[in-house]
Structure 1
Amino acid sequence: MNEKELQLVLEEGEGYKIEFKEALTDIDKELVAFANSSGGRIFLGITDDKEIRGVKITNRLKSQIQDIANNCQPSVKILFEVFKDILVIIVRGGEDKPYKCSSGFYTRVGPNSQKLNRDDIIEFFKVEGKIRFDELVNLKFDYDTHFDPTKLDRFLRLAGISKVLDIPSILINLGVAEKQEGKVIFNNAGILFFAKNLQDIYYHTAVTCALYKGTEKIEVLDRRDFNEDLISNIGGAMIFLMRYLAVRYEITGEPMRKEILEVPYEALREAIINAVAHRDYFEKGTNVMVEMFDDRIEITNFGGLVKGLKPEDFGTKSVLRNPSIADLLHRVKYIEKMGTGINKMRRLVAEAGLPPIVFEFGTFFTAIFRRPARIEPTIFDESGGVFGGVFGGVNEKVAERLGKVIKALYSEQVNISQLAVMTGISKRTLERDIALLKDKGFTEFEGAPKTGRYVLTEKGKKIMGALAT
């Protein structure tokens, strides 16, 4: 331990493998929690607010802590490291789980030690096993070939951590790598976050997004597979959803209008993060699935409920299948607080006036979001009525395309070239569509011929008003 490493620990804050303690109070709880998990370090002399107060380090203090560890059932193996007036207690992951202290059984859930009854914790380790996918090392992952330092930079920026140490030391402190014979060896959590291209190492870690026609899995309209790293996979899935979800605009008095998706953005993002964090990565025959139908969105991962978590406790308690993955997501604020995501999703959907989310869990875990009745872009006649998809002899397909043009013009004032990029419609087709819309009084051109932009008239804005109702 040196000054720079301590600074890094303070910036990282408490996590799955780090605990700050001002005094010995309840330290037996922390010891068994780390022993029942993957081990960790207790920094005695640092407050929860990251203030260094220090402790008087004596042999008597060390003996007292050792006695507490020995009195756990079975005894917890610990080591000591001293840096200035901070005593670091290094707790090894237990080899004879579960461990118990005088107040009960505890396991590590993110930055907290959570109490479990004996039946719960025995069932958890019996079914899930003592080996976790995210903690296994993979010798095929080569530091020089496969590691992407730019993804580590992104992670540190999101987590608010300074790059005060060399890269191997940072990775080791994050708990995603170790040194063996001078080589940096990654565990799977490190690979999932910091691989240049995850597809080169694992093919089953992808998030697959699909858009279907209608309400059944018959005709696929679009599909994308994202398998770069977990953060990029989550981002890619959200971009896919936003590409096809209807948006309405709310005037807030600010310069920018507020975009509101038909299903709350944060609820969908929370569900995808949950699927990525809790899926069973030992099963290599399936991906996380994000599937869009006309009436619903389904987000599915293999693994069901983690054993040890009862259905009646779902949404109120948290048991982690991949604690290292969850810890890293927590550090970059993708997970706010362990065990709160389900209730957050439920609240957001309720506030949007949508039906409750349906959660299904068996071999798979699925979150089903109901979409509101679809309101397609439509064209109004002079009296405000709807032509029902036929616009002066134009067929339904063309009317749908015209609706897409009007929707794009509502979000921005653009020229033909920019509009082509936004809509995916060729310039030649757009010129015909714009001429038709202009002839009917829905659009107009403002500015000089070379630098001007197409905008919606008040009549054209009525269409977006219909979409917002």
Structure 2
Amino acid sequence: MNKKELSELIKTLEGYNLEFKETLNNSIVKEICAFANASGGRIILGVNDNLEVLGYKLTNRDISIIQDIARNMDPVFSVEVEQVEELAVIYVPEGKNKPYACAQGFFVRVGANSQKLKRDEIQKFFQENGGVVFDEKFIDFDFTDFSNEAYNRFLKKAKIDNNLDCKQLLSNLEFFRNDKLNYSGILLFSKDITKYLRNATIQCVLYQGTSSTIIDKKEFLKDLLSNFEDAINYIKSKLNTEYVIKSTYREEYLELPEEALREALINSIAHRDYFSTAPILININIESVKFLNPVIMDLSLTVDDLMRGSYPRNMFLFSNLERIDLVEKAGSGFLRIKKAMEKYELPMANIYFSKRLFEVTFQRPDLQINSYKRRVIDGKGFEYAENVPENVPENVPENVPEKRIILIINIIKNNNRVTISELSTRLSVNEKTIKRDLDKLKTLGTIKRFGPAKGGHWEVIK
């Protein structure tokens, strides 16, 4: 690599395959480990976070330290080091015997950061993919299918100077190699992704009332960012908007917070199993908006675990969504959904998953009862339905508030893996109260618990 090539590489900014360091320090260990567990990468010494070139001259001792870091990894690894005028470059190849560990543990690349994982987490990730990571796989691509509009929009959002040959810049960004484009590049820059990934589309379906009768359907199949925005606009067009008059002007409020809807969709895009033949599906009816996407899930996880954070399935794709500010910190999407729903004074979305399917369901508020003005502006909060559904069991304890019992049973019916913490949040009571209610319901035979506290599920006994 010459100085000009290195200068152009720096302009692409830090990312999934590129790290800047002012000097050689202890953090180099985890960066090398993370790149080895990803698709490789380059560490440039002598550049700070503001892209200022400070310079770094390698010594023989520096080279020995770097090579020892690689040799001391488990399994043994090797890297290359080069001095390019005033800067030093460490070339980390993709590991052939993943996962790799250093003295500090196991690391993977998540966006522009190196994140520590437990051994079983990283092993499970690679085992389930058969050693193949979808978003980094390269295939033949016909550049007549390349969307210059999508490409230029990506560069603009990523704040990358567009003064290089397209293929050279794609190569610097790790999308292009040996005349092939990887699947992340296909998702982001194809005019029509179905030519290469038939089911990597987003489908929106509108149902009549709560029936299975379809009254409208739309499939989005352009580049990823266009499909994302088009799907969000479609959802918004099918939801109600509330107008609140304030003296000489009015304010508009979508019935569900747009931020929460966007987070749910980007979660589907970033975490979906792209080897699956199923698309991302968004079902809309009079009562709810439901996001469904194919996944490969670890069933030992709980919704609480997801709320605390998780690493994205498609890490290279995630890193580039991060570049264009479509996602923020890994694993924080559900917390942002929760905060957006709380700001709107609405119940948290229901989260359900099986081994191969992930669902996020938003309950649509009845604006005649639960208008934004009443809930938020007037400060009265969300009013839960008082009517008892016909199928609510008769054997409920008299000394537990009827409304809360109805809600607990209905929540369990919709999500049999719901946790005590989630019930506490949804019903605005402390966890001790929820435990007491559940114990009474179990004693009366209304509900039954199967499996351990972590990984088990509830059943409503009819």
TM superposition score category, shorter chain reference: 0.7 to 0.9
CA displacement 1:196-251 (0-9 Å, x = unmatched): 221222220110001111124x1111110001111111011011111111112356
Aligned counterparts, 1:180-199, within 5 A: 184-199=179-194
Cα distance change, pair 310–70 in 1 and its aligned pair in 2 (3 A): farther
1:316–1:340 contact (8 Å) kept in structure 2: yes
- CA distance in structure 2 between the partners assigned to 1:13 and 1:318 by the alignment: 25
TM-score normalised according to structure 2 size: 0.75
Corresponding residue of 1:223: 217
SS in 1 for 2:232: helix
Which of the residues 211, 217, 227 maps onto 1:233? 227
Aligned counterparts, 1:97-246, within 5 A: 97-139=98-140, 141-143=141-143, 145-179=144-178, 184-216=179-211, 218-246=212-240
- CA distance in structure 1 between the partners assigned to 2:53 and 2:246 by the alignment: 45
Aligned counterparts, 1:354-373, within 5 A: 354-362=346-354, 363-373=356-366
1:98–1:122 contact (8 Å) kept in structure 2: yes
Report the CA distance between 1:59 and its aligned residue: 3.0
- CA distance in structure 2 between the partners assigned to 1:308 and 1:114 by the alignment: 21
Report the CA distance between 1:252 and its aligned residue: 7.5
TM-score normalised according to structure 1 size: 0.74
SS in 2 for 1:314: helix
SS in 2 for 1:94: coil
- CA distance in structure 1 between the partners assigned to 2:307 and 2:16 by the alignment: 20
2:13–2:160 contact (8 Å) kept in structure 1: no
2:150–2:188 contact (8 Å) kept in structure 1: yes
- CA distance in structure 1 between the partners assigned to 2:37 and 2:222 by the alignment: 32
2:201–2:279 contact (8 Å) kept in structure 1: yes
1:121–1:308 contact (8 Å) kept in structure 2: no
Cα distance change, pair 15–315 in 1 and its aligned pair in 2 (3 A): farther
Cα distance change, pair 52–290 in 1 and its aligned pair in 2 (3 A): same
Matched, 1:279 2:285: no
Larger Rg: 1
Corresponding residue of 1:327: 319
Report the CA distance between 1:306 and its aligned residue: 5.9
Corresponding residue of 2:18: 18
2:14–2:20 contact (8 Å) kept in structure 1: yes
Say how many residue pairs are matched: 367
- CA distance in structure 2 between the partners assigned to 1:336 and 1:294 by the alignment: 31
Cα distance change, pair 273–8 in 1 and its aligned pair in 2 (3 A): farther
Aligned counterparts, 1:422-441, within 5 A: none
- CA distance in structure 2 between the partners assigned to 1:38 and 1:309 by the alignment: 27
Report the CA distance between 1:165 and its aligned residue: 1.3
- CA distance in structure 2 between the partners assigned to 1:52 and 1:307 by the alignment: 47
Corresponding residue of 1:94: 95
Matched, 1:61 2:62: yes
Report the CA distance between 1:177 and its aligned residue: 0.9
Identical positions, percent: 39
Cα distance change, pair 111–294 in 1 and its aligned pair in 2 (3 A): same
Report the CA distance between 1:54 and its aligned residue: 1.9
**Structure 2: gaps spanning 5 or more residues:** 370-462
Counterpart amino acid of residue 81 in structure 1: E
SS in 1 for 2:19: strand
Counterpart amino acid of residue 62 in structure 2: L
Corresponding residue of 2:241: 247
2:46–2:53 contact (8 Å) kept in structure 1: yes
Corresponding residue of 2:30: 29
Cα distance change, pair 106–313 in 1 and its aligned pair in 2 (3 A): same
Matched, 1:292 2:284: yes
Cα distance change, pair 323–307 in 1 and its aligned pair in 2 (3 A): farther
Cα distance change, pair 331–295 in 1 and its aligned pair in 2 (3 A): same
Cα distance change, pair 10–308 in 1 and its aligned pair in 2 (3 A): farther
CA displacement 1:84-105 (0-9 Å, x = unmatched): 3221111111111111111111
Report the CA distance between 1:290 and its aligned residue: 0.9
1:109–1:338 contact (8 Å) kept in structure 2: yes
SS in 2 for 1:90: strand
- CA distance in structure 2 between the partners assigned to 1:31 and 1:110 by the alignment: 15
- CA distance in structure 2 between the partners assigned to 1:206 and 1:71 by the alignment: 44
Cα RMSD after superposing both structures? 2.2
CA displacement 1:61-83 (0-9 Å, x = unmatched): 22221111111111223122333
2:138–2:177 contact (8 Å) kept in structure 1: no
Cα distance change, pair 305–9 in 1 and its aligned pair in 2 (3 A): farther
- CA distance in structure 1 between the partners assigned to 2:128 and 2:349 by the alignment: 28
- CA distance in structure 2 between the partners assigned to 1:256 and 1:31 by the alignment: 57
- CA distance in structure 2 between the partners assigned to 1:306 and 1:82 by the alignment: 44
Corresponding residue of 2:394: none
Cα distance change, pair 258–325 in 1 and its aligned pair in 2 (3 A): farther
2:126–2:132 contact (8 Å) kept in structure 1: no
